[in-house]
Amino acid sequence: MRSKNILRTGRNFTFPCSWRSLQTGNYKFDSEEVARSQYIYISKRVRTNAFLYTIVATILITPVVVYIAIAALFMPKHSSTILQYEYPISGHLAYEPLSDEYVQYVPEPQMQLLSIEPINLPLPIPPPPMPSPPQTPFSAFSFYIPENAHLYAYFQYSNPTLTAETVVWKVNAHLHLPFYYDIRTNYNPNPLLVNPFYRLPQGFSPYPLVPVNNSNCFLRATPETVAAFRALRTTARQNGFDLSVTSAFRTAARQAALFSARNYVDGVVARPYHSEHQTGRALDLWGPGGLLDARGPSPTGTWVAANAHYYGFIIRYRAETTHITGFIYEPWHITYVGIDISMYMHDNTILSLEEFVARYPEATLNRG
């Protein structure tokens, strides 16, 4: 029979409302008589299945109902469960039923106050003193900063050939970082360190400024810088060397224009607020053949390098300190730091201002 095949296939078949609905959907029959016969067959099967399901459900549910009825019939009306409390002070037993219909009165026991004699406890043993931090080869130096201890260790591991002293001052100078990373603002005027890690405050302008040469009012610097240069130039002329200044103070706009003209290349021209020329303390010297020693060593440049520290100047960008200063070798660039600092740097062979500041942080930088 086709109807049996329909029921055995397991298709999603919905029982029709009438025999005519069998003519629609996925099941088509040849005539109304065939459709009516299929409808009658399916209806009988559905009724038979419903009857069987009812019998099975009755057989399963009947024992549960009988069990509940028997349990309710033989359950006592009141619970006889008793709670028992014992009071250790009087040795008295009290009973209280769980039922709400009957509550036995139990008098409260008389509390007895016990006399407690004071006990002399021994004094607590004081904790052992905290151990002092372990001594490292870096902590032996006066410019050691405890907060940088992990940086010292990492930098020493990355540069095993460096001495512990060199590691400490280079980390203090932030030379373990790439240039222009973690830039800070320097507010300390003595000495005024300006480099890739320290910038001038926004809107900084030295005051007052005076002309370096009486004949050129565009070249200006701080009064201390001008006085020191004039003394240096006088001594140079007495020794047969001619010196002049070709660049001094620059504004931030002028520095930005120079930086743009060099295609924003770091190390050749400083970024705005990272240039010493904005401090009014830096001078570019002019020698007999142009920029001092720009084409190689000259007697004038040699004399300036050997005597500038007597007047408070340092050769700021030496050939051996390019990896420290971040700028190319500029023998014509001198910076006024004061006679005390310049003489100390010369006597202790400190070639860069970064090293001096890192060795004496209490006298120079605000590290906030």
* Average pLDDT over every residue of 207-222: 87
**What confidence category does residue 41 fall into, taking pLDDT thresholds of 50, 70 and 90?**
confident
Residues 188 and 337 in one domain: yes
User: What pLDDT sits at residue 81?
Assistant: 46
313-317 vs 282-287, strand pairing mode: unpaired
Instruction: Taking the CA atoms of 171, 177, 182 and 186 in sequence, report the sign of the dihedral they define.
Output: positive
Burial 252-277 (b: 16+ CB within 10 A, else e): beebbebbeeeeeeeeebbebbbbbb
64 versus 3: the higher-pLDDT residue is: 64
* Average pLDDT over every residue of 174-202: 91
User: What pLDDT sits at residue 114?
Assistant: 61
* Average pLDDT over every residue of 97-116: 56
CB 338 within 8 A of CB 191: yes
Residues 187 and 244 in one domain: yes
pLDDT in tens, 328-350: 999 999 999 999 999 999 999 99
Question: Is 155 contained in some domain?
Answer: no
> Which of 108, 125, 151 is the last residue before a domain boundary?
108
User: What's the number of domains the chain is made of?
Assistant: 3
Residues 52 and 104 in one domain: no
Question: Is 331 contained in some domain?
Answer: yes
**Two tokens at 278?**
């904005």
Residues 50 and 197 in one domain: no
Give kind and range of the element (H or E) at residue 335.
strand 330-336
Residues 65 and 104 in one domain: no
**Which range in 17-21, 283-287, 288-292 is most confidently predicted, on average pLDDT?**
283-287
Burial 156-179 (b: 16+ CB within 10 A, else e): beeeeeeeeeebbbbbbbbbbeeb
Strand partners, 82: 97
**pTM exceeds cut of 0.75:** no
User: What pLDDT sits at residue 149?
Assistant: 92
Query: What DSSP line would sit under 272-290, residue for residue?
Result: TTS-GGGGT-EEEEEETTE
> What are the residue ranges of helices labelled H in the chain?
2-8, 32-74, 149-158, 164-172, 223-238, 252-261, 299-307, 322-325, 339-347, 353-359
User: What pLDDT sits at residue 31?
Assistant: 60
Question: Is 131 contained in some domain?
Answer: no
Residues 189 and 331 in one domain: yes
User: What pLDDT sits at residue 3?
Assistant: 43
Residues 63 and 88 in one domain: no
pLDDT for residue 70 is more than 80: yes
pLDDT in tens, 222-281: 999 999 999 999 999 999 999 999 999 999 999 999 999 988 889 999 999 999 999 999
Average per-residue pLDDT for the chain: 81
Residues 6 and 93 in one domain: no
User: What pLDDT sits at residue 224?
Assistant: 96
pLDDT for residue 367 is more than 50: no
Residues 103 and 216 in one domain: no
* % of residues, the chain, pLDDT over 70: 74
**Which range in 68-77, 85-94, 98-107, 192-201 is most confidently predicted, on average pLDDT?**
192-201
**Two tokens at 25?**
């959907």
pLDDT for residue 112 is more than 70: no
CB 360 within 8 A of CB 340: no
Q: How far apart are CA 100 and CA 96, in angstroms?
A: 10
327 versus 61: the higher-pLDDT residue is: 327
**What confidence category does residue 8 fall into, taking pLDDT thresholds of 50, 70 and 90?**
very low
Residues 210 and 282 in one domain: yes
User: What pLDDT sits at residue 194?
Assistant: 95
- Domain of residue 93: give its range: 78-108
Question: Is 204 contained in some domain?
Answer: yes
Longest C-alpha distance within the chain, in Å? Answer: 137
Q: What is the CA radius of gyration of the chain?
A: 50
